[in-house]
Amino acid sequence: MADKQHTLKGEIKLSGVGLHTGEIVNLTICPAPEKHGYKFQRIDIEGQPTVKADPDNVVSTARGTTLEQNGAKVYTTEHLLAALYAMQVDNALIKLDAPEVPIMDGSSFPFLEAIKKVGLEEQNQERDYLILDENIKWEDEEKGIEFLAIPDKEYRITVMVDYNSPVLGTQHASMYKIDDFETEISKCRTFVFLRELEYLAMNDLIKGGDLDNAIVLIERENIKQEELDRLAKLLGKEDLSVTVDGIGTLNHTKLHFENEPARHKLLDIVGDLALLGRPIKGHILAARPGHSGNVRFAKILKEHAKNAANKGKFFDLEKEPLYDIVAIEKMLPHRYPFLLVDKVLEITEDGIIGVKNITMNEPQFTGHFPGNPIFPGVLQIEAMAQVGGIFALDKVEDPHLYSTYFMKIDNVKFKTMVRPGDTVVFDLKLLSPIRRGLVNMGGKAYVNGKVVMEADMLAQVVKDKTE
């Protein structure tokens, strides 16, 4: 069953510090219209330019994912995007008055909680899923990064991290469905190794870094107090200490999960693949991932989706129809020249596929654009409605005693002209369960696998005849 896009019911306002820039930032996450996707807006820059969340707009993956467009940059986008994606917010405008999304506690949880508090609003447009129909593999042999995406009904992720570290060893993390993100992944914080900390601090790469917004992992025993004192001075802390409890951490930081580092890597994958702007149905397996690998794989998935769309949707027009024209005449009250369905290929629990062959000898071509025959858009809609009527009547006993009547048509779009010689395939799905004879369906019309028209329709099935 089709599901709809969502945006926020109201605005979310948050403030914090940027991990790398150290700048205070005020963030406002606003509702956005259908098909808007995720866009950032730098309201502190003249003209208030927007930056679309898109793999092609990534300009840096050093310690985070940085986007740039229209002369504006936005740093560290991944934790916020992960929260929006996991809460199934499809459309949002993210306004900020500084160049970096606030780090908050180093996880997605503060963003997720704010989204839950304001709530979601359903929109009319269907969600545009990226559905995998084959395995997609990519690897960087030099860096040991591997990604594999395989078809699945859910959005699943499996991660393996291996830093050749005696502290971390090899860790695994899994998310079996996107609903698990809130409880299993969202609280997992960003992390850094103690050996990296001094370099990052001395090179002003973590100006907003704090032991409250990152986990510092200790890789060795017998840390000298002089080293800790030097780090404390760099970080602006009065004192630092080490605790070793399974995994060594700085200043007694307690992990939410023993494999919290691996789970945070999974969180980053959710945020970076959210740049695709589409919900995914597929299982992502990643070995030794990072922002660079995540974004490079996102670009591969985007290209795959683009190529699949260009190939068009395939329908087997040669297979034995479920209903031929004789059977259709027994169900629908229409006759020539107003019977606009030639055959029905299949009917499922929530959908139907029907076919209309366009021929030059149809009466409308006599007076409709003589010399330039185009199948009228209103007749395309009527043909689609008749296919939907067959779906509805297939669900009742004695269908010849019923009729279907239009109640509403929404979101009608004509993509390209339909001409004699074309075979139009109508693919309709239920938008909501049939109740009290009301049938609400959304559909697309295809010629040679390409969409030529789409519409949402509401009709009522009425028993208006007797034996």
What does the pLDDT read at residue 357? 97
Residues 6+ apart with CB under 8 A from 327: none
* Catalytic option among 256, 304, 334, 368: 368
Question: Where residue 204 falls among pLDDT bands split at 50, 70, 90?
Answer: low
Q: Over 90: is that where the pLDDT of 265 sits?
A: yes
Residue 1 confidence (pLDDT): 35
* Inter-residue contact 147 to 139 (CB < 8 Å): yes
In this structure, the number of other CB atoms found within 10 A of the CB of residue 235 comes to: 18
Residue 221's pLDDT band (cuts 50, 70, 90): low
Where is mean pLDDT largest: 133-137, 147-151, 217-221, 330-334? Answer: 147-151
Is the predicted pLDDT of residue 250 greater than 50, yes or no? Answer: no
In terms of C-beta density within 10 A (0-12 exposed, 13-18 middle, 19 or more buried), how is residue 224 classed? exposed
Catalytic residue among 252, 283, 291, 304: 291
pLDDT digit string (tens) for 429-443? Answer: 998 888 888 999 999
pLDDT of residue 246: 40
Q: Rounded to whole angstroms, what are the CA distances from 150 to 130, 293, 314, 331, 356?
A: 12, 17, 20, 41, 35
Lowest mean pLDDT among 26-35, 36-45, 359-368, 397-406: 397-406
Section 151-171 average pLDDT: 86
- Asked if 291 is an active-site residue, the reply is yes
Residue whose structure tokens are 């003589």: 370
Decide if 260 contacts 190 (C-beta within 8 A): no
When pLDDT is averaged across residues 82-94 and rounded to a whole number, the result is: 98
pTM: 0.69
* Terminal alpha carbon distance of the chain: 34
Domains of the chain by range and CATH? 4-187+261-309 (3.30.230.20), 191-255 (no CATH), 325-463 (3.10.129.10)
368 is known as an active-site residue: yes
| Amino acid at the residue 75 | Y
Between 253 and 91, the higher pLDDT residue = 91
Task: Check pLDDT > 50 for residue 196.
Answer: yes
**Is the confidence at residue 356, as pLDDT, over 70?**
yes
pLDDT at res. 222: 59
Confidence of residue 400 (pLDDT cuts 50, 70, 90): confident
Closest CA to 412 of 457, 463, 449: 457
Lowest-pLDDT range, 18-22, 215-219, 253-257? 215-219
CB atoms within 10 A of CB 358: 22
How many residues are given for the chain?
A: 467
How many angstroms separate the CA atoms of 367 and 270, rounded?
Answer: 55
305 contacts 288 by C-beta, under 8 angstroms: no
What is the DSSP track for 124-138?
A: EEEP--EE--S-EEE
Residue 417 has pLDDT above 70, yes or no: yes
How many angstroms separate the most distant Cα atoms in the chain? Answer: 97
Residues 18-69 pLDDT 10s:
877 778 999 999 999 999 999 999 999 999 999 999 999 999 998 899 999 9
2 sits in the region (left: phi over 0; alpha: psi -120 to 50; else beta) called beta
Quick check: bond before 49 cis, omega within 30? no
Structure tokens at 462: 């009425």
Q: 397 or 339: which carries more pLDDT confidence?
A: 339
The pair of three-digit structure tokens given for residue 231, joined into one six-digit string: 């780090």
Task: Give me the sign of the Cα torsion angle 54, 59, 62, 64.
Answer: negative
Q: In sequence order, what are the residues at sequence separation of 6 or more whose Cβ sits closer than 8 angstroms to the Cβ of residue 305?
A: 130, 276, 278
Please spell the DSSP secondary structure of 24-73, one letter per residue: EEEEEEEE--TT--EEEEETTSTT--EEE--GGGEEE-SSS-EEEETTEE
- Phi then psi for residue 126, to 5 deg, are -70, 150
**Average pLDDT of the chain to the nearest whole number:** 88
Hey, CA dihedral for 144, 138, 62, 104, is it positive or negative? negative
Q: pLDDT band at 232, cuts 50/70/90?
A: low
Residue 76 has which token pair? 């560290």
